[in-house]
Amino acid sequence: MKIAIGSDHGGFKLKSEILEHIQSKGYEVSDFGCYSLESIDYPDVAHDISEAIMKGDYDKGILICGTGIGISIAANKVPGIRAALCGDCFSAKASREHNDANILAMGERVIGVGLAKMITDIWLTTEFEGGRHTGRIGKISDIECRYNRE
């Protein structure tokens, strides 16, 4: 599984912890930045990672900002992206089983490192259940199509 990880300055420290954590578990992961605490705009990294996933270069993405809110809103503007902002393990599991989330978003200023690692582990190892959820994912795509008409 190829994973893309990225953050803005508000998520930089947690991103560094999660990057090291998932590398130590043997995942293949690319760091899309940012690379310091210098202020950057979260929509830029959200866009880079979302596009890379939609192109098929990566299977899943992890995005972190201060709250996880801005970066998940931005990622969800890219058709086909289902970014789930998770601050607990139950949501992390359900976002994979029910929503087939392809991006996990978290907020550095909201959750601690230990919980973020647990959420990440659960999210990366939980499979989509399919079944009744497949049609619902399809309806999300239908909404995107409706608004993407030229």
Nearer Cβ to ligand RB5 (42/123): 42
Binding of ligand RB5 at residue 92 (CB under 6 A)? no
Binding of ligand RB5 at residue 76 (CB under 6 A)? no
**What backbone torsions phi and psi does residue 52 show, to the nearest 5 degrees?**
-60, -35
For ligand RB5, the binding residue among 62, 63, 70, 84 (CB under 6 A) is 70
Instruction: Respond yes or no: is residue 21 known to be catalytic.
Output: no
Q: Classify residue 9 by its DSSP letter.
A: G
Q: Which residue has the tokens 């008409």?
A: 149
Rounded Cα distance between 40 and 8, Å, is 6
Binding of ligand RB5 at residue 69 (CB under 6 A)? yes
For ligand RB5, the binding residue among 3, 4, 5, 8 (CB under 6 A) is 8
| Neighbour count for residue 21 (Cβ, 10 Å) | 16
| Active site positions, annotated | 65, 98
